[in-house]
Amino acid sequence: MFAVPFLLAPMIIIDWFIWGYSLCYSACSNHFIGNLNYVVLRQFRNALTAEFTNTRGHVLAGAHVLFNMFFKLICVSLTFPGCIAERGRVLPMILFAFIWSVIIYNPVTYWFWNSNGWLSVDLGRLPVLDFAGGNCVHIVSGFTCLAYSYILGPRNPKLLYNYRNSNTGHIIFGTFLVFMGWIGYIAGCDFKFSFNSIYIILNTLIAACASGIVWTAIDFFFSKFSMISFSSGIMTGLVVFTPGGGYVSSNAEFWKGIIFGVVGAISGNLATRLKYFFNIDDALDLFAVHGIPGIVGSMLTGIFANDLYDSKGGWVKGHWKQFGYQLLGLVVTSAYVFIMSMVFLYLIDLIPGFHLRIDKDFNRREREKTLKAKQLDQELESQTSPQQVVPHMSNSTEQMSFWEQVELQGTDGYEFNGEFMLDFMEFIRAIRPQDYEDDDLKDIIQAPNQYEGYIGQDFELHQEGVHNLTKRE
């Protein structure tokens, strides 16, 4: 779903311009959400507010607006494509994304990164250390996806038969781009380029590499090498180090990056199994790769943080209370995001025409099938004699509903007028079983001249399915 981030980006940018930045970073007496003092970026007109200042330093307000706008875009890009994968509708997703942007993301960002936020280091009452978005971005993303995936229900099992990823090359290339960009974002949260920025970059690299190695080693122990696993490990290392960032980086503490990477990889890899335990179909493992490492990284920051940027350090520096503050921050963030997401998704699903899933009756049918299976098992167990006749089970399968067929054919075809149906994976999925029948080979033998113009020229005839004529690369 490459289209989803681009589809949502204009709405998020306009929202950020009109009131999003003001709700996150305006100064007011309220410790939970900002006001509209900076609506449509009015602070640029005043020389006193044309510069943003906090404990990390100062930066031009315009640069701060752009920098944090891209943080929000990253959170959106991480969250929503995986939420609706292969079963969700786009229109209700857009409505939820707007509500999520205003009511969920903005308040959480205010809590941690506004100088007046009730969990901010600047205010100092309950200082939760979050250098580059462990809570504001990754815990928010992970628990939003968890709620959305739970409400939507699992994908149709027919979609998962002989399932494979769409393009491993895209995954590797995308991981490389994220890797490079992530380094700049974490170092950029220092608000200046200094020696500590270099230490942050080095520790980020170390954490990502350690996590990639450990994640791949775990999967190799149970199965085989996998570049997808390696990419997941790299992402997990980047995420788990995000809350610590500058708080755990110095010229003599590069070993902390290894600890963050190893612990993050183990926890994230194990977390990928939770979706099977709870039967929540998190298609892109966002909860395991972003939510859980965000939590783990926040806890490790509470243990290993130094007394930098007006913080008092973590447990190893004798400030054991910091670990409690970190637990408070992640529990509050997780609960708020998950509960609010569940409430709004449930309400949107009740609006006529805004049902979240393409096949809106799928979950009801699955529950009925499960209930019937349990009742049948109970009836079989209650039989006192083996000679009793078991109720006849029809071998005929139920006819698929129209919306189930639409969902199986791919959300691209229904939501985007088929614009992406010519993608390689969609082509393979939509292929007809008849194309593989032996009868087709007889047609070639009987009428060889019919295919004469295709063989050896611009097109190549595949023996597996003679009706599929693919242009030679």
Q: Helices in 383-435 by DSSP H: which ranges?
A: 402-408, 411-415, 424-429
Least Cα distance to 216 among 225, 204, 205, 208 occurs for 225
Q: Distance (Å, rounded) from C-alpha 223 to C-alpha 227?
A: 13
pLDDT at 334: 97
pLDDT at 150: 92
Tokens coding 116: 């007046």
Phi-psi region of 153 (alpha: psi -120 to 50; beta: other; left: phi over 0): left
Q: Distance (Å, rounded) from C-alpha 431 to C-alpha 100?
A: 38
Cβ-in-10-Å burial (0-12, 13-18, 19+) of 333 comes to buried
Interaxial angle between packed helices 321-350 and 90-99, expressed in degrees from 0 to 180 and rounded to the nearest 10: 140
Tokens coding 252: 């003599």
pTM: 0.81
39, 22 contact by CB (below 8 A) = yes
3-class DSSP state of 42? helix
Domain with CATH 1.10.3430.10 in the chain: 3-350
Tokens coding 357: 């899933």
Q: Distance (Å, rounded) from C-alpha 395 to C-alpha 340?
A: 44
∠ CA 178-181-186 to the nearest 5 degrees?
Answer: 115
Q: Using CA atoms of 377, 382, 383, 389 in order, give the dihedral in degrees to the nearest 10.
A: -40
- Indicate the helix (H) or strand (E) that contains 469: strand 469-471
Q: Distance (Å, rounded) from C-alpha 65 to C-alpha 73?
A: 12
Q: Distance (Å, rounded) from C-alpha 92 to C-alpha 192?
A: 40
pLDDT per residue rounded down to tens, the chain (473 residues): 678 888 999 999 999 999 999 999 988 878 999 999 899 988 878 766 778 888 888 888 889 999 999 999 999 998 998 888 878 888 999 999 999 999 999 999 999 999 999 999 988 889 999 999 999 999 999 999 999 999 998 887 776 666 666 678 888 999 999 999 999 889 999 888 888 899 999 999 999 999 999 999 999 998 888 898 999 999 999 999 999 999 999 888 889 999 999 999 999 999 999 888 888 888 889 999 999 999 999 999 999 999 888 889 899 998 999 999 999 999 999 999 999 999 999 999 999 989 998 877 776 776 667 777 777 777 777 765 444 444 444 433 455 676 676 676 666 666 766 565 444 444 444 445 555 455 544 554 455 454 444 444 433 434 443 344 344 33
Distances (CA, A) of 44 to 40, 337, 451: 10, 32, 68
- Indicate the helix (H) or strand (E) that contains 59: strand 57-60
CATH of 3-350, one of 1.10.3430.10, 3.60.21.10, 3.60.10.10, 1.10.760.10: 1.10.3430.10
Distances (CA, A) of 293 to 125, 300, 387: 26, 10, 56
